[in-house]
A and B are shown apart, each in its own frame.
Chain A
Amino acid sequence: MTLIFSSVTYALKAQRLLAGYRIYTTLTRSPAVTAVRGCGYGLRLSEPALAEEAKRRLAEGGISTLGAVGE
């Protein structure tokens, strides 16, 4: 599962925030992200099962995602 962000800045900001909740991610520029955004960055979750919690934590932190894609 990869969460997509509007910029690499927001992706890295989200990565820091999620790490604080022990939700670990990898910054990616995968084809799935490119298909959605025409180039961009996402965060690939180490544990896809945490996707809903990750979205909730990001929303609480004021960081919006452009969506999520399964890879």
Chain B
Amino acid sequence: MSFVYLDNAATSFPKSGAVFSAVKDAFFGCGNSGRGGHPLAIKSAETIFACREALATLFDSTTENVVLTSGATAALNMAIKGLAPKKGAALCTALEHNSVLRPIYSSFPNRFRIATPQFNSREQTATTVLKLLKDNVGLMVLCHASNVCGICLPVKELCAEARRLGIPSVLDCAQSAGHIPISIRDIGADVICVPAHKGLGGAMGAGALIVNPESGISIKPLIEGGTGMAAREPFMPPHLPERLEAGTANILGIAALAAAVGELEISDKEEQLRQQAVAALKGVKGVKVYAAGWDGNYAPVVAFNIEGVPSDTVAEHLAQRGVYVRGGLHCAPLAHAALGTGKYGAVRASFGKGNTPSDVEALINGVKLLCNR
């Protein structure tokens, strides 16, 4: 059965042939990086370094500041727990995914602040966050783009103010990486966290924590162990990236990520599809589109509901017609609460590089069919 895949915010699909070839080459040709001097170990080390180079170029950092992780969730946990001060609160927004919220809840018990965005105003949202930022905050963690409704927070202004106040800033770029150009130096964040398998087009099980070369932060390791060097030292090395990379690297995922970034082309194609979907959905009687009046940028995500129909029912109906979207809460319960969809969630359609305008039309036709029942 042919299908239309509109769940790229969960993971991009399809992956490219080059990514698959890279995984295959690594599977059959790589040893354990940093654990030997034989050709297979060296090939692995070079594969990993090539991935660091690709990510450093893409995000405007340097190779040694690219820490490879098992995904964005791991990177966010490492950043939040490794930067958590003994005093001071964590600041985030209601848009955050549980990969931010849960580490904050556990690392900052009873000392976190959550800013609720104004879904029609970038400026008012910035004002809300900035007001809380001055309230004894020791760490700011923000999503670059919401995984529910796609709105992009005014991160450059917020990170600038955080830096002025001496507060480390961490950005969750799970939904923006690969869709929107990101320069960590231009934005001014101290850390950005990215997954391999979403907009970047890599495989599951890999990601990166990327440190701003102009930042002076030091992240305490969350996991300690072998690094393949300085073995007599009792503690993890002081320098990145190995300081945060104990254990054997996921060479398959890393090879895939390097290949994916190597062929990545960022354009406004996905944004055009999002706009097409929003315009068409707004024209369907009984459909409500969320956060459609934001006056800033978007990641290629649209959230909507059909009046009186739970989002998972809509998603199931669409899947039966070969249109794959996601219902529910998207691991972002506060975002849904803020949007007024806290009980049944919303339907999320998210676009990737493999989508075309006809895919949007298939979505709209499926939604109309359900609305007319």
Which of chain A's residues has its CB closest to B36's CB? A29
B residues less than 8 Å from A46 (CB atoms): none
Q: Does B230 contact A (CB under 8 A)?
A: yes
Query: In whole angstroms, how far apart are the Cα atoms of A12 and B94 in the complex?
Result: 42
Contact yes or no, B64 A13, CB < 8 A: yes
Among B45, B49, B231, contact of A39 (Cβ-Cβ < 8 Å)? B231
Query: In whole angstroms, how far apart are the Cα atoms of A38 and B227 in the complex?
Result: 11
Contact yes or no, B37 A30, CB < 8 A: yes
Q: Does B232 contact A (CB under 8 A)?
A: yes
With a 10 A CB-CB cut-off, give which of A8, A13, A16 has the most chain B CB atoms.
Answer: A8
Question: In the assembled complex, how far is the CB of residue B200 from the closest CB belonging to chain A, in whole angstroms?
Answer: 20
Query: In whole angstroms, how far apart are the Cα atoms of A38 and B45 in the complex?
Result: 18
Interface residues of B in 1-52 (CB under 8 A from A): 33-34, 36-37, 41-42, 45-46, 49, 52
A residues less than 8 Å from B242 (CB atoms): 7-9
Task: Give the size category of B's interface with A.
Answer: 20 to 34
Contact yes or no, A8 B64, CB < 8 A: no
Query: In whole angstroms, how far apart are the Cα atoms of A39 and B37 in the complex?
Result: 10
Q: A37-B229, A38-B230, A38-B231 are in contact. Are A9 and B241 (CB under 8 A)?
A: yes
Interface residues of A in 29-43 (CB under 8 A from B): 29-30, 37-41
Contact yes or no, A27 B237, CB < 8 A: no
B residues less than 8 Å from A6 (CB atoms): 229-230, 237, 239
B residues less than 8 Å from A13 (CB atoms): 49, 63-64
Q: A8-B33, A9-B241 are in contact. Are A40 and B63 (CB under 8 A)?
A: no
| Number of A residues with CB within 8 Å of any CB on chain B | 17
Which of chain A's residues has its CB closest to B227's CB? A7
Contact yes or no, B232 A7, CB < 8 A: no
Question: In the assembled complex, how far is the CB of residue B256 from the closest CB belonging to chain A, in whole angstroms?
Answer: 19
B residues less than 8 Å from A9 (CB atoms): 49, 52, 63-64, 241-242
Query: In whole angstroms, how far apart are the Cα atoms of A29 and B228 in the complex?
Result: 10
B residues less than 8 Å from A65 (CB atoms): none
Contact yes or no, A27 B42, CB < 8 A: yes
Question: In the assembled complex, how far is the CB of residue A23 from the closest CB belonging to chain B, in whole angstroms?
Answer: 18
Question: In the assembled complex, how far is the CB of residue B343 from the closest CB belonging to chain A, in whole angstroms?
Answer: 48
B residues less than 8 Å from A8 (CB atoms): 33-34, 45, 49, 228-229, 242
Query: In whole angstroms, how far apart are the Cα atoms of A40 and B233 in the complex?
Result: 12
A residues less than 8 Å from B241 (CB atoms): 7, 9
Contact yes or no, B45 A40, CB < 8 A: no
A residues less than 8 Å from B232 (CB atoms): 38
A residues less than 8 Å from B36 (CB atoms): 29
List 29 contacting pairs A-B, 8 Å CB cutoff, sorted by A: A6-B237, A6-B239, A7-B64, A7-B229, A7-B239, A7-B241, A8-B33, A8-B34, A8-B49, A8-B228, A9-B242, A10-B64, A12-B45, A12-B63, A13-B63, A27-B37, A27-B45, A27-B46, A28-B37, A29-B36, A30-B37, A37-B229, A37-B230, A38-B229, A38-B233, A39-B228, A39-B230, A40-B229, A40-B230
19 more A-B residue pairs beyond the given contacts A6-B237, A16-B53, A41-B37, with a C-beta to C-beta distance below 8 A: A7-B229, A7-B242, A8-B34, A9-B49, A10-B64, A10-B239, A13-B49, A13-B63, A13-B64, A27-B46, A28-B37, A29-B36, A30-B37, A37-B230, A38-B229, A38-B231, A38-B232, A41-B34, A41-B45
Using CB atoms and an 8 Å cutoff, list the residues of chain A in contact with chain B: 6-10, 12-13, 16, 27-30, 37-41
